[in-house]
Amino acid sequence: MGEILPFICGWALLFNTYLLITLIATHIISTILAFMPCMGQPQPLALQQQSGDTFTFSYQDENLATELSLVANAAHDRLDEIRAFFAIDNKKSGDIYFCRDIETFSSKLQFEPPVWYNAVAQQDLNQIVVWVKPEQSPAQIAKLLNHELVHWALFELPPQAREKIPLWLHEGLAEMWSDRGLAETYNVSLAWEAKHNNLPRLNSYNTAFGNEPYRAAVGYALAKEFVLFLNNKYGDELFKQVFKSMAAGRSFDQALVDHTGFSVVSHEKIVRANLNSWWRVIQEMYPHFFFLVVIIILGLVPFVAARRRRHKQALHDVWQREEDEVDLMTGHGDNIGNE
Ligand SMILES: [Zn+2]
């Protein structure tokens, strides 16, 4: 008996030490795996749907859900900012669907979209459908979604107001909030079009932008230019007031006259005149032109300064030489006088 007890105690101690070491090892391994997700166990399947205040998100595949989780998480905050900008307090709920291919995009929309379509907000189907192209980053998708969220917020306006918003105004407001980059994709220069007298009228985009991508891109850019002009000239409160008047029965044109004193056509004339300038053409075609000019000027400063310094020094040398020569001829007598 006297020999068995220390034997059992010894084994118990050894077993405890073994347990402790296993515990520590498991902890270390799981910590390492937590920081290296690709090397760990296969991740649990991404949620096909996530619910929020307003939107239910769904994805064509699980990778999209993981890739766009940050974009989806930010959507409600962005929508609240947009609602605050337009003073909208009614909330409309719906679905946001992210898909990978044109077939799914088109079947979700229930129509064949023009080639330049990338995302659509549909009031009647209560949905926003985003086609995530392989080359598009999550940041680009976020911009696209934020653009669609402006359409969504405008769907939440009282019917009297939202039904009287021309399509170009819908797009102009959405582009002011989040430019989806259409003008860049199709190399649109509004100033070039204005110079060549090819700038379409805003009212030609009242109900549709058409199938032709370049013309649609010009329409988006022009609508954005117009809305930005109004917003810069009259401030952030203008559209709140205009929509309030529209909810009370005024048309957009009447509401604009009420709050600014000028109609759409009068404002459009000013915008078109501003665009009709070669200076603006250079700015639009060479957006880095001015930056380059500034860099060149800054780069030249030391050379010009050095040249001026050398020129001054040369003049000084000539003057000094002439002085010395005069001193040599007359200086002797002066020196004697001073002594
Ligand atoms: Zn849009």
**pLDDT tens, 221-238?**
999 999 999 999 999 999
Residue 12 within a domain: no
| Co-location of 148 and 165 in the same domain | no
What's the pLDDT band for 339 if we cut at 50, 70, 90? very low
pLDDT at 126 over 60: yes
Residue 336 within a domain: no
pLDDT tens for residues 156-214? Answer: 999 999 999 999 999 999 999 999 888 889 999 999 999 999 999 999 999 999 999 99
Inter-CA distances, 103 with 51, 95, 99, 111, 129, Å: 25, 19, 9, 10, 12
| Co-location of 151 and 246 in the same domain | no
| Co-location of 84 and 151 in the same domain | yes
Measured CA to CA, the distance from residue 81 to residue 138 in angstroms comes to 20
| Co-location of 180 and 280 in the same domain | yes
Domain that holds residue 171: 159-289
Residue 169 within a domain: yes
Going from the Cα of 285 to the center of ligand 1, the distance in angstroms, rounded, reads 24
Supply the DSSP string of 125-161, one letter for each residue: TTEEEEE--TT--HHHHHHHHHHHHHHHHHHTS-HHH
| Co-location of 210 and 271 in the same domain | yes
Going from the Cα of 221 to the center of ligand 1, the distance in angstroms, rounded, reads 12
Nearest CA to 139 out of 68, 80, 81 is that of 68
Going from the Cα of 96 to the center of ligand 1, the distance in angstroms, rounded, reads 15
What's the pLDDT band for 332 if we cut at 50, 70, 90? low
Measured CA to CA, the distance from residue 285 to residue 44 in angstroms comes to 49
Going from the Cα of 79 to the center of ligand 1, the distance in angstroms, rounded, reads 15
| Co-location of 145 and 180 in the same domain | no
Structure tokens at 245: 């008047």
Going from the Cα of 35 to the center of ligand 1, the distance in angstroms, rounded, reads 40
Beta-carbon count within 10 A of 143 CB: 19
To which H or E segment does residue 130 belong? strand 127-131
Inter-CA distances, 306 with 138, 301, 313, 315, 319, Å: 50, 9, 10, 14, 20
Going from the Cα of 170 to the center of ligand 1, the distance in angstroms, rounded, reads 7
To which H or E segment does residue 122 belong? strand 119-122
| Co-location of 185 and 124 in the same domain | no
pLDDT tens for residues 5-62? Answer: 455 445 554 445 554 455 445 454 444 434 343 333 333 334 455 555 789 999 999 9
Residue 63 within a domain: yes
Q: Which of residues 110, 125, 156 is at a domain's end?
A: 156
Q: In what order do the strands lie in the sheet with 55-59?
A: 49-51, 55-59, 94-99, 127-131, 119-122
| Co-location of 165 and 268 in the same domain | yes
93: CATH? 3.40.30.160
Measured CA to CA, the distance from residue 143 to residue 180 in angstroms comes to 6
| Co-location of 82 and 122 in the same domain | yes
Structure tokens at 232: 């810069």
Residue 9 within a domain: no
| Co-location of 197 and 140 in the same domain | no
Going from the Cα of 174 to the center of ligand 1, the distance in angstroms, rounded, reads 6
Residue 79 contacts residue 152 (beta carbons within 8 Å) = yes
| Co-location of 131 and 235 in the same domain | no
Going from the Cα of 257 to the center of ligand 1, the distance in angstroms, rounded, reads 25
Going from the Cα of 150 to the center of ligand 1, the distance in angstroms, rounded, reads 8
Going from the Cα of 322 to the center of ligand 1, the distance in angstroms, rounded, reads 78
Going from the Cα of 168 to the center of ligand 1, the distance in angstroms, rounded, reads 9
Going from the Cα of 319 to the center of ligand 1, the distance in angstroms, rounded, reads 73
Measured CA to CA, the distance from residue 219 to residue 259 in angstroms comes to 25
Could you tell me what percent of the chain has a pLDDT over 90? 63
What's the pLDDT band for 317 if we cut at 50, 70, 90? confident
Going from the Cα of 302 to the center of ligand 1, the distance in angstroms, rounded, reads 49
Going from the Cα of 181 to the center of ligand 1, the distance in angstroms, rounded, reads 11
Which residue would you say has higher pLDDT here, 179 or 322?
Answer: 179
Going from the Cα of 103 to the center of ligand 1, the distance in angstroms, rounded, reads 20
| Co-location of 233 and 285 in the same domain | yes
pLDDT tens for residues 225-281? Answer: 999 999 999 999 999 999 999 999 999 999 999 999 999 999 999 999 999 989 888
Going from the Cα of 131 to the center of ligand 1, the distance in angstroms, rounded, reads 14
Q: Which of residues 116, 132, 156 is at a domain's end?
A: 156
Is the backbone of residue 329 left (phi > 0), alpha (psi -120 to 50) or beta?
alpha
How would you class 47 by CB atoms within 10 Å of its CB: exposed for 0-12, middle for 13-18, buried for 19 or more?
Answer: middle
Going from the Cα of 148 to the center of ligand 1, the distance in angstroms, rounded, reads 6
Contacts of 247 (CB under 8 A, 6+ apart): 157, 158, 160, 161
Going from the Cα of 88 to the center of ligand 1, the distance in angstroms, rounded, reads 19
Structure tokens at 128: 């926003």
Count structural domains, the chain. 2
Per-residue confidence (pLDDT) for residue 17, from 0 to 100 = 53
> Rounded to two decimals, what is the model's pTM?
0.71
Going from the Cα of 5 to the center of ligand 1, the distance in angstroms, rounded, reads 83
Average pLDDT, whole number, for the chain? 85
Going from the Cα of 113 to the center of ligand 1, the distance in angstroms, rounded, reads 13
Q: Which of residues 126, 156, 186 is at a domain's end?
A: 156
Per-residue confidence (pLDDT) for residue 287, from 0 to 100 = 66
Residue 59 within a domain: yes
232 residue type, one letter: N
Residue 39 within a domain: no
Going from the Cα of 169 to the center of ligand 1, the distance in angstroms, rounded, reads 10
Measured CA to CA, the distance from residue 175 to residue 328 in angstroms comes to 80
Measured CA to CA, the distance from residue 57 to residue 145 in angstroms comes to 12
Going from the Cα of 171 to the center of ligand 1, the distance in angstroms, rounded, reads 5
Residue 214 within a domain: yes
